[in-house]
Structure 1
């Protein structure tokens, strides 16, 4: 098999596995901040217990995320040496900023978060929770900045030629605020908030269905539902803004998203369909002229299609990009519907009597994860054949001495190790969930029970 294709498969596999964990930690960090704020506001032990429980889950996710993220940095050198040289100045700045401002902040306060509950004051512990949540978001900022620069390069000049060419920063802030970074960052963060909040919704729905930790589960479910509802609605606007940016900055990618081939023509918007790349046709359910209206608020405005570009500059896997993009959008709309329905039932006062809905929420944790993965696939595959858009082709970015057999061998090893890691993660997560948020479960937590937290928790004394 082709070495470049195998290397792409290997990197996609390692990134996809790693990308399970950072969105969970970012979203969970926000939910934990709200939970602990409620504990400080009300003094109710139920909020303290749920916060301590989710801190343990957060630590597990953080640990696996760090372990899986390191692998990608090695792959830059082993598989993509030309690419590493080309973007080294850009990525070096962004990743250094991530290490200084994000990872150090997050990991530094994580120790207080984990072990300081009975050793520091309530306010210091709450401050640590905020810092850990901010650290996880800062990490996303710098990673998204680096990746967005690949999509829409800015603030640089090229030195050298051929395989020795490299991009050098001329304007750091132009590099940071490149044309797509802000839009893509908002999209990533909102997707992360959905991943974390739906994990909390899923676990609490599981408890409610089994009549365990009922009061804690109800309170936790409501907190997560507020976060998920706001994030899902904002994601709709963020996604639209991001699509507008792609239409302006990467028109070939947008054409692949919608399977639009004509060089300049009014474009339909497909709700679902299938792209016949040989005939350059799409069959499916569509809104006539819908894409033209969505992009330009004009049903008769032409949209740039794939045939406006040279054959070698067009994305090759058009149907794959079309399917991943539309599945991501479909899941996003499903999340909006779920959260709005649950919010309406909460307002009506009978949310927790709807067991069928709790069953859906118990499995819904998979939906934001799928949407995040599909969004990443559509963005990265849609960028092809460029690894740095318009500047460096993926086929030219490969390590010159790399052999296909080496990539296959390492891919098999990575697969085995990641299967073991994922199995360990699921086992430990399941064990913690089954144990529950209370050390000694003895029934429901009622608002009528007196607050014994000052007696049990020295930090309140």
Structure 2
């Protein structure tokens, strides 16, 4: 083990941990805004209760996401300084805009939304949560644009004197075809997570508190969340199909590794289960669906999909001697876990809707257990999706331009990286306990009492005290 190995583990752990909060924040910001809009348009107290209830869970998650996200930027200078020097001119532009525009937009208007319930006019207060939601989604786009440059470098040139990548076409970076499909795919995955949380909490109250005066609100929440999950599941499949075709075009090795495809095939079969040799160089046994991989990769059932061994030989000729194959078991199984966990959440959403058909009230303990597992399933799907995305790119940190081993900080020792890795892991473990306890505490508390509603007119009362709604 050396500093490179530990630095990769540290970045992987902190990134996956941070992304546990990101999709829930992205999805809940929009769904809470929709619930408040429904209250604004109908005046139905049910929607106001749900807005404040799920808004509280959104704020807890948002705070944790901000705290864990700060560490990500520090690591570029701490453990990956050579990478930062090489790509900073390109990578820094979308990240700077994300911080200066998107993050400030969401953080400013979240503050106005929190403290504005008894202060802002009703329409202005509604606009503040929508502005925060727009800022959150813009933030996701700029970050994904930066990451997409690592997957498919565009809009740059290599300075022959400094050896650094220099930005030449910023619109090209923002309209990178990888970013254009990764963004809606990530949004769909985020709504899958947020909808699942709404279902889980609502279902728990419907089954455990059947005689509650707010049962109607919880029943609506379970139906609302279930439909969000189903629509998001369809969007994930649609965008994932497009993403697979783009991935085959720009990173054919990643697609081959995802399928354990060692030799070029035309047509290519989709692997349901593949067992390879210990050295990862050949297939030993495979259970396949004919023609499916060709369609997923090229859009043509008879299309050609290049195999691992052929691509390795091509890259060795193009980039020099060395291994250009990712860790096959990691890419193969992370790809399948991503799909399986996402589909499982959609299946449970269907069961929840079926259990409430014709006004019925669900009561099954098995359904409750499945519902409580719902938020975890899409979180795992998102995490495995990112593990596949990043591990499938290896050994490149910027595909075709910079190897991961060349991006690590040369002045950082193994001891220093181990120390920071251990510290971050312990801090994140503590934050995880706090996050879970806070979410469980406020989720069990149920919807708030809204007998003292915010003003329904647009009059300005300068004497009204500033109030924190939560």
**TM-score, normalized by length of structure 1?**
0.92
Q: Is 2:443 the counterpart of 1:433? A: yes
Q: 1:351 to 1:188 in 2, by over 3 A?
A: farther
Alpha-carbon RMSD: 1.9
CA distance in 2, matches of 1:365, 1:183: 24
Q: Which residue pairs with 2:252 in the alignment?
A: 251
Change (3 A) 1:253 1:203: same
**1:284 CA displacement:** 4.6
Q: 1:190 aligns with which of 183, 188, 191?
A: 188
CA distance 1:275–1:117, change in 2 (3 Å): farther
CA contact (8 A) 1:342 1:351 kept: no
Residue 232 (structure 1) shift: 0.8
Q: Is 2:378 aligned against 1:376?
A: no
Distance in 2, Cα, partners of 1:174 & 1:316: 28
Q: For 1:73-222, list aligned pairs within 5 A.
A: 73-160=73-160, 164-211=162-209, 212=212, 213-222=214-223
Contiguous gaps of at least 5 residues in structure 2: 317-321, 458-470
Q: Which runs of 5+ in 1 are unaligned?
A: 440-452
1:251-280: CA deviation from partner (whole Å, max 9, x where unpaired): 001000000111455422023444435351
| Contact in 1 for aligned 2:112/2:125 (Cα 8 Å) | yes
Q: Secondary structure at the match of 1:352?
A: coil
Residue 331 of structure 1 is matched in structure 2 by 341
CA distance in structure 2 between the partners assigned to 1:298 and 1:145 by the alignment: 28
Distance in 2, Cα, partners of 1:178 & 1:438: 45
Of residues 220-229 and 22-31 in structure 1, the stretch that sits farther from structure 2 once superposed is: 220-229
Shift of 1:352: 3.2
**CA distance in 1: counterparts of 2:47 and 2:226, whole angstroms:** 16
CA shift, 1:56, in A, is 1.6
- Stretch of structure 1 that moved more, 192-201 or 142-151: 192-201
Looking at structure 1, the residues matched to 284 and 17 of structure 2 have their Cα atoms a distance apart, in angstroms, of 31
Instruction: Report SS of the residue matched to 2:362.
Output: helix
Could you tell me how far apart the structure 1 residues matched to 2:102 and 2:295 are? 40
Q: CA deviation at 1:13?
A: 0.6
Q: How far off is 1:417 after superposition?
A: 0.7
Shift of 1:78: 1.1
Deviations along 1:278-321, one digit per CA (max 9) or x if unpaired, are 35115353213321233345444331111122363523311111
Inter-partner Cα distance in structure 2 for 1:57 and 1:339: 20
Structure 1 partner of 2:49: 49
User: Counterpart in 2 of 1:442?
Assistant: none
What's the offset of the Cα at 1:69?
0.6
The answer to whether residue 406 in structure 2 is matched with residue 396 in structure 1 is yes
1:220-268 per-position Cα deviation (integer Å, ceiling 9, x unaligned): 2222222211111111111111001101110001000000111455422
> What SS is found at the alignment partner of 2:8?
helix
- Deviation for aligned residue 1:438: 2.1
Aligned residues of 2:233 and 2:346 also touching (Cα < 8 A): yes
- Aligned equivalents of 1:456 and 1:135: distance in 2? 30
